[in-house]
Structure 1
């Protein structure tokens, strides 16, 4: 049986992959059009457009937080305690995707505040999951 937790974990991984694919498609086009050498990219896309820099950072944000939040989801699934994470799994995934989309859309102070709020939701959910998982051992 598929649980909301397993769907959220798969969705989180898929979202990080989609951001990476988008970045590599754009990079490939830049190389094919002769705008950037194949070896001319940095991990943070520093020499590219502001959008590409935000895309690199949005992807890095996902990859950086995947071990923490994905780990909590995986512990819940692997130990048969996904009932702890199921209730907030979709909210977590939605706030992660929303955070990335806002990151891609704008670097304005208002957007940064919105993005931080979405991340705060994820942190609160993660802390709740961690405490509940530890308390149910």
Structure 2
């Protein structure tokens, strides 16, 4: 996945906003809260950072192509960075980006969720989502 594909996917999720900040990173937010970042790879290759559930964080931190996200993980936050961007893990990345979006969205107040029109998305995704092994 490249940054154009990443931005297009994140833009497809309801009520998202995009800013370029933190050293030219593509930062995606919902309700003003970050759920995905495109950037920060040490070798200038694409890298994608997202929030993970407890189970997914434990799994991905040991899985090739992923690592605990710099800065976030150092502060005890469960964020993962995908460093394998050849396309092999694109389907997984879309799943994890959606999960990150869902986690952040669920952390918003019910009022904010409804205001964003994302409450219906949550109802649909929550029923069908789950952690990958």
Tell me the TM-score normalized by structure 2. Answer: 0.32
Tell which structure's C-alpha radius of gyration is larger: 1
Tell which has more relative contact order, 1 or 2 (C-alpha 8 A, sep 6+). 1
Tell me the TM-score normalized by structure 1. Answer: 0.31
